Amino acid sequence: MENDVGKICAIVVTHNRKELLIKCLEALSSQGTVLAGIYVVDNDSTDGTAEALKGKGYISDVPGAEQGPVEVKSPVNMSFGGEGGSQATVHYVRMPENAGGAGGFREGMERAFAEGYDWLWLMDDDVIVRPDTLGELLTAREILRREGKKPGFLSSKVVNRKDMIDNAPSIQWYGRENTMTQWAELLEHGLAGVENCSFASFLVQRDIVADVGYPLKELFIWSDDVEYTLRISAKYPCYMAGRSIVRHERNIAGTLSILREEDPGRIRLYYYYYRNRLWVLRKYSPYRFVLNEQLSLVIDIFRILFGDYRHKALRAGTLIRSLFAGTFSRGLTPLLDGKDKA
């Protein structure tokens, strides 16, 4: 199933959030623009995600317990803006273990690329698109084409449950043709130049993927989207389409912080948050920003040790590990050496 821009495939990564996943897929089926396929990459969910998808008619079979990633392809009739009967292919990929958002998106992108899809549209399972979300992204692409620009990626405006801005991208501070800030160049078209964005409605063309490669699975969660989009924007102009809007239904509002987190399991996960932030800064930012991040981590360690916090040892130990690993690239790929190319 194609349109004038080729075959478009959505890629959704999920883990133990079957209710949100179903809402995400239902919203995708309401698009006025036809999708040729949807990849659902299930990071080893234990909440009956596959059974829920079968019950809703998105997949025909529940895969067995094979060791490696298992894919089930099912042609599914979707409405796509009320047209009715339009058929898309739902690719359900069950991972043998939780590979995190980074590993899940990489798996989905590699499979979608090999399947021949022309555009990859990435989002988490807690992203709810509007009926015109994809259409507005493609309208933005057409505006850019008329302006003689080829975007590295396009992203949507993200709002939270209260319709407040969420996951705001960093704007493009420097122009490629002069030293003046260029982010507002196409603002009359609702387009702002950006340097990075989250994987909450992120659209990329296959030839860009062929050039820059895939997200780094070693990052596991957090900052994998920032690193990947910075990699793209270093070579291509990239834009947020302000008229393309999605709602992010995440439970935690505001900036993430280990100081506010009370769940011990999530406190442990913050190792990736701070490690990855520091590593990405080292790779893409002036060193003064790296020093500032390192100093901030040291200050937070002392704040925890001498403050009134529960789970002190866990919080402080997590930050110490993050500081060490982010500074010395422990467990990470220091350089992109071609192994991440499509």
The C-alpha atoms of residue 51 and residue 72 are separated, in whole angstroms, by 13
Question: What three-state secondary structure class fits 171?
Answer: strand
| Same structural domain, 244 and 287 | no
Q: Which domain holds residue 316?
A: 264-328
Q: What pLDDT is attached to residue 237?
A: 93
101 with 235, same domain: the answer is yes
What is the structure's pLDDT at 64? 77
Is residue 103 in a domain? yes
Query: Residues 44, 116: one domain?
Result: yes
Verify that 104 and 230 share a domain, yes or no: yes
What integer pLDDT is reported at residue 342 of this predicted model? Answer: 55
In a domain, 338, yes or no: no
Is the predicted pLDDT of residue 171 greater than 90, yes or no? no
pLDDT tier at 1, thresholds 50, 70, 90: very low
The residue from 222, 248, 274 where one domain ends is 248
Number of domains in the chain: 2
Q: Which pLDDT score, from 0 to 100, does residue 10 have?
A: 97
d(CA 95, CA 76): 22
Question: Are 205 and 316 members of one domain?
Answer: no
Over residues 191-213, the mean pLDDT reads 96
* Residue 20 in domain: yes
Q: What is the spatial distance between Cα 278 and Cα 15, in angstroms, rounded to a whole number?
A: 26
More confident residue, 80 or 23: 23
275 in any annotated domain: yes
CATH number of the domain bearing residue 178 = 3.90.550.60
Q: Do 242 and 186 sit in the same domain of this protein?
A: yes
**pTM exceeds cut of 0.75:** yes
Would you mind telling me the total number of residues written for the chain in this entry?
A: 342
CA distances from 20 to 34, 126, 272, 310 (A): 22, 6, 24, 31
One domain for residues 276 and 196: no
CA dihedral 215, 221, 226, 231 (to 10 degrees): -20
Do the domain assignments include residue 339? Answer: no
- Return the residue matching tokens 């599914």: 76
Percent of the chain with pLDDT over 70: 90
* DSSP-derived 3-state class of residue 94: strand
pLDDT over 90 at 158, yes or no: yes
State residue 2's pLDDT score.
44
The CA distances from residue 292 to 53, 196, 258, 295, 298, in Å, are 46, 20, 18, 5, 10
> Can you say how many angstroms the Cα of residue 47 is from the centroid of all Cα atoms in its chain?
22
pLDDT at 240 over 80: yes
pLDDT of the residue at 250? 73
**Number of other residues whose CB lies within 10 A of the CB of residue 295:** 10
Q: Which of 248, 275, 310 is the last residue of a domain?
A: 248
pLDDT, one tens digit per residue, over 302-333 is: 999 999 999 999 999 999 999 999 998 876 76
Give the angle subtended at the CA of 45 by the CAs of 101 and 197, to the nearest 5°. Answer: 20
What is the per-residue pLDDT across 109-132, written as a single tens digit (0 to 9) for each? 999 999 999 999 999 999 999 999
Computed over every residue of the chain, the mean pLDDT equals 90
Three-state secondary structure call for residue 274: helix
pLDDT of residue 180: 60
DSSP one-letter code for 206: H
71 forms beta bridges with 93
